[in-house]
Amino acid sequence: MSLTVRPAAADDVAVIAEYNRRLAAETEHVTLDPATLTAGVSAAVADPGHRGPYFLACDGNDVVGQLQITFEWSDWRNGWFWWVQGVYVRADYRQRGVFRKLFDAVIERAKAAGDVIGVRLYVERDNAAAQATYARLGFRPTSYLLLERSPH
């Protein structure tokens, strides 16, 4: 296995949407609307600077994993937090270093950007395996509790 990491392109929308569909089903037992999902992925891929780029782990030409970065500006710290989202590794490639390869590529890009002050993510409270993986990569719990409200 020879893994490479690259930014997503328009030709990758279908596989990203499929991996996001699987991610929602596996982690949250949610069925996503295919048209909305595809439109959302297409919008992000077309405008990575504002909506957040996807990075793909590839074994040859085969996309085997993905993650997306979204951005949060901190006026308190005068820098960017990058949020890791949409992490998915194909089942037959799990426990083979795919996420680490993706994560390392993101950290290198964050260092090169010069104005990234932290990389954050959220994880399901009951997903102990993911939490252990993130802890091995140096992530630690924050003092913040994530809250959400729909505007509708």
Mean pLDDT (the chain, rounded):
95
- pLDDT value at residue 130: 86
- pLDDT value at residue 126: 86
Whether residue 141 lies inside any domain: the answer is no
- pLDDT value at residue 28: 87
DSSP string, the chain: --EEEEE--GGGHHHHHHHHHHHHHHHH--PPPHHHHHHHHHHHHH-HHHH--EEEEEETTEEEEEEEEEEEEETTTTEEEEEEEEEEE-GGGTTTTHHHHHHHHHHHHHHHHS-EEEEEE---TT-HHHHHHHHHTT----S---------
Whether residue 32 lies inside any domain: the answer is yes
Whether residue 43 lies inside any domain: the answer is yes
pLDDT digits (tens, 9 = 90+) for 47-62: 999 999 999 999 999 9
| Domain count for the chain | 1
What is the residue range of 104's domain? 3-136
The domain that holds 87 is classified in CATH as 3.40.630.30
- pLDDT value at residue 125: 87
Dihedral, CA of residue 148, residue 149, residue 150 and residue 152, to nearest 10: 180
Whether residue 143 lies inside any domain: the answer is no
Whether residue 128 lies inside any domain: the answer is yes
How many residues are given for the chain? 152
pLDDT digits (tens, 9 = 90+) for 59-106: 999 999 999 999 999 999 999 999 999 999 999 999 999 999 999 999
DSSP string, 109-140: HHHHHS-EEEEEE---TT-HHHHHHHHHTT--
Whether residue 148 lies inside any domain: the answer is no
Task: Name which residue leads in pLDDT, 35 or 126.
Answer: 35
Whether residue 7 lies inside any domain: the answer is yes
Least confident of 25-34, 86-95, 107-116, 121-130: 121-130
The overall pTM is greater than 0.85? yes
Whether residue 20 lies inside any domain: the answer is yes
